[in-house]
Amino acid sequence: MARNMDRIVSGVDAKVVIIGCGISGLSAAHRLSKSGFQHVRILESTSRSGGRIKTGRLGDKVVEIGANWIHGPSEDNPVFCLARQYGLLDPEALTPENQAIDVGANPPWIHNVFSSSGRKLTSEEFDPAKEMFCTLLEESSEFHSGGGEPRASVGDFIRSEAKQQAAEKWKDVDENTRSLRMCVISNMMKEHCCVNGTHSMDEVGLGAYGLYKTLPGLDCTFPKGYEGLIENLMAELPSGLVTYNRPVRCVRWNNKDKRENTLTVECDDGERITADHVIITVPLGYLKKHCSALFSPPLPLHKLHSIQRLGFGTNNKIFVEFDSPWWDAECEVIHLVWEDEDDVVDQVPDLQRSWIKKLFGFTVLKPTERYGHVLCGWIAGHESEYMETLSEQEVTQSITQLVRRFTGNPTLTPKRILRSQWFHDPWTGGSYTFPGKGCSAQDLENMMEPLPTKGSQAQPLQVLFAGEATHPCYYSTVHGALLTGWREADRLISHYSSISPSLPKSNL
Ligand code: 6YU
């Protein structure tokens, strides 16, 4: 496990207010409280802890509305280490073999592939296209922003390379198979819109794509729900530390009026809370919309530009339960390939009529003994945001038509469905961060930089920034978010231990 500062700062009186009780706010509070900070408070806008870690129910089945997997469950992943410590994982996730598997961002899932004419595709039709796509995606990670990249976005790069390579490598393949393989590439693009939480791969910057780093370990889930992690961390905090239903409206920092406190947090209900330090953990989606109202004086320009340049899109899930499976017993992911998409597309032409075409397919909830026959459909982008506006009945109808068409079985009927609606969550505004076009490592540096910025004569470390969008290489993940909470707590612990003597302390 990542080590903490190994320090306890005896009885720090400083008042620390943390905005947001997701994993980053919680991990910051946890570390500060364990390190001798006596006045730590979390203000949370909703009635629950966890933020984008949110476990729900489909009938009697536990399903994840938000974060799904521990990405890279191995020794350097603090989420894995905590989950193991709290006894939250299945035995196979704990094995050294599982921790050693290194597949980068491509889990080796067993797939079934169906096409829009109701046919199951052969591996000859699917595998060469998948291989080409994966190679191009890997190449996309190798550019470093600096102007040398051949295209502005990952989408542009993959589309132009795929078309060129298909014409060369597959010139002897018959026209229909070649066209179908290009449709498979469109399907992969849509899948990666979900992985990246973006509307289109055309919005993901090619130069910055390689900033994201993976950890070894085959992704695993929490059998009783991701929220178990939140519950265990909450149980170790002093009671009453979190105030719920308390949205923050404005952080007034750098107040030069000597009669008032330098730093004040103003809540929606009008309450004003003075503090020595504020840790902001609100999602990037919220910041994009509200940063001009949330800070007074406004954030420095370089920070504002980075908030705009970084991307924050929507990835939603649609859980669908069936009485019996229509997929193979060993199948882990189902791809749905539209046969009219050989132009390498990841957006639909008409949202209202064809939003469902953006759903790339389903993952199968495993093991079957635990979940029965439940699929999780994945849909990203504006099509996903439009889906959120429909009634559950309308979504069910579209899903029913979709599976009937792709399987050629007109009797298939979902038993029940449940979908997420992250875009319309007023405190999130989408799902997670991706590097937009023109982004670089500097943007993530700017995101995490505390205020006032270096060189200022004002009281230091007034406003600190944590949350997944502030991690230099694990943005968009739970482990990234958790590490940023620890990072900002450690920043304050260092600050106070350079002022007051520190005592040694064992690990958390
Ligand atoms: C992961 C996964 N996963 C699926 C889906 C989603 C996300 N992630 P929080 O938002 O939690 O907390 C902020 C709080 O602030 C919140 O409670 C608010 O209510 C509150 N707040 C806001 N405004 C406020 C105000 N004004 N006043 C007071 N309070 C306020 N991560 O590790 N595994 O499987 C997935 C997935 C559908 C939506 C995910 C996953 C992302 C994580 O959920 C997320 O990063 C953290 O929970 C965020 O915690 P936080 O504390 O920062 O914010 C190659 C390559 C490509 C690169 N990308 C790889 C992508 C891999 C990511 N894949 C994710 C996939 C899924 C399926």
Q: Is 191 in the pocket of ligand 1 (CB under 6 A)?
A: no
- Confidence band, pLDDT 50/70/90 cuts, at residue 184: very high
Instruction: Indicate if 464 and 441 belong to the same structural domain.
Output: yes
Q: Is 422 in the pocket of ligand 1 (CB under 6 A)?
A: yes
Instruction: Indicate if 319 and 198 belong to the same structural domain.
Output: yes
Domain count, the chain: 2
Mean pLDDT of 201-209: 97
Q: Is 19 in the pocket of ligand 1 (CB under 6 A)?
A: yes
Mean pLDDT of 355-379: 97
> Closest Cα partner for 364 from 58, 36, 43, 111?
111
Q: Is 63 in the pocket of ligand 1 (CB under 6 A)?
A: no
Residue 83 lies in a domain: no
Q: Which two tokens stand for residue 285?
A: 């989606």
Residue 365 lies in a domain: yes
- Confidence band, pLDDT 50/70/90 cuts, at residue 7: low
Residue 349 lies in a domain: yes
Rounded distance from Cα 149 to ligand 1 centre (Å): 29
Q: Is 388 helix (H, G, I), strand (E, B) or coil?
A: coil
Q: Is 80 exceeded by the pLDDT of residue 78?
A: yes
Rounded distance from Cα 418 to ligand 1 centre (Å): 19
Q: Is 90 exceeded by the pLDDT of residue 508?
A: no
Instruction: Indicate if 286 and 325 belong to the same structural domain.
Output: no
The residue assigned the tokens 């470390």 is: 461
CATH number at residue 454: 3.50.50.60
Rounded distance from Cα 181 to ligand 1 centre (Å): 33
Instruction: Indicate if 275 and 403 belong to the same structural domain.
Output: no
Q: Which two tokens stand for residue 383?
A: 């099509």
Mean pLDDT of 218-246: 97
By most ligand atoms within 8 Å of CB, the mutation choice from 135, 292, 387, 477 for ligand 1 is: 477
pLDDT tens digits, residue range 168-179? 999 999 999 999
Q: What pLDDT was estimated at residue 501?
A: 56
Q: What pLDDT was estimated at residue 500?
A: 64
As a whole-number percent, the residues of the chain with pLDDT over 90 amount to 90
Q: Is 81 helix (H, G, I), strand (E, B) or coil?
A: helix
Q: Is 17 in the pocket of ligand 1 (CB under 6 A)?
A: no
Instruction: Indicate if 335 and 285 belong to the same structural domain.
Output: no
Burial class (CB in 10 A: 0-12, 13-18, 19+), 247: middle
Tell me which of 419, 446, 467 is where a domain ends: 419
Q: What pLDDT was estimated at residue 196?
A: 98
Q: Is 50 exceeded by the pLDDT of residue 504?
A: no
Residue type, 444: L
Tell me which of 362, 386, 419 is where a domain ends: 419
Residue 474 lies in a domain: yes
362, 375 contact by CB (below 8 A): yes
Q: Is 45 in the pocket of ligand 1 (CB under 6 A)?
A: yes
Residue 508 lies in a domain: no
Q: Using CA atoms, how far apart are residues 220 and 230, in angstroms rounded to an integer?
A: 17
Rounded distance from Cα 145 to ligand 1 centre (Å): 25
Q: Is 90 exceeded by the pLDDT of residue 8?
A: no
Q: Is 198 in the pocket of ligand 1 (CB under 6 A)?
A: no
**Number of other CB atoms surrounding residue 10 within 10 Å:** 13
Instruction: Indicate if 298 and 444 belong to the same structural domain.
Output: yes
Instruction: Indicate if 331 and 368 belong to the same structural domain.
Output: yes
Q: What pLDDT was estimated at residue 261?
A: 82
pTM over 0.75: yes
Distances (CA, A) of 414 to 208, 220, 353, 395: 40, 26, 21, 11
Residue 495 lies in a domain: yes
CATH number at residue 171: 3.90.660.10
- Write down the mean pLDDT value for the chain: 94
505, 7 contact by CB (below 8 A): yes
Q: Is 63 helix (H, G, I), strand (E, B) or coil?
A: strand
Instruction: Indicate if 339 and 407 belong to the same structural domain.
Output: yes
Q: What Rg, from alpha-carbon coordinates, does the chain have?
A: 24
Q: What angle do CA 201, 312, 281 make, to 5 degrees?
A: 150
Tell me which of 384, 419, 454 is where a domain ends: 419
Mean pLDDT of 389-394: 98
pLDDT tens digits, residue range 86-96? 999 999 999 99
Element (H, E) at 318: strand 315-321
Mean pLDDT of 451-460: 89
Residue 175 lies in a domain: yes
Q: Is 71 in the pocket of ligand 1 (CB under 6 A)?
A: yes
Instruction: Indicate if 325 and 299 belong to the same structural domain.
Output: no
Q: Using CA atoms, how far apart are residues 73 and 77, in angstroms rounded to an integer?
A: 6
- Least confident piece of the model among 7-21, 38-52, 202-216, 476-490: 7-21
Instruction: Indicate if 349 and 284 belong to the same structural domain.
Output: no
Q: Which two tokens stand for residue 107?
A: 């889990």
Query: Taking the mean position of all CA atoms in its chain, how far away is CA 169?
Result: 36
Q: What pLDDT was estimated at residue 96?
A: 96
Instruction: Indicate if 191 and 338 belong to the same structural domain.
Output: yes
Q: Is 80 exceeded by the pLDDT of residue 10?
A: no
Burial class (CB in 10 A: 0-12, 13-18, 19+), 205: buried
The residue assigned the tokens 């009485």 is: 323
Mean pLDDT of 133-159: 92
Instruction: Indicate if 120 and 198 belong to the same structural domain.
Output: yes
Rounded distance from Cα 129 to ligand 1 centre (Å): 31
Q: Using CA atoms, how far apart are residues 493 and 196, in angstroms rounded to an integer?
A: 34
Please give the residue range of the domain that contains residue 465: 15-53+222-311+433-499
Residue 90 lies in a domain: no
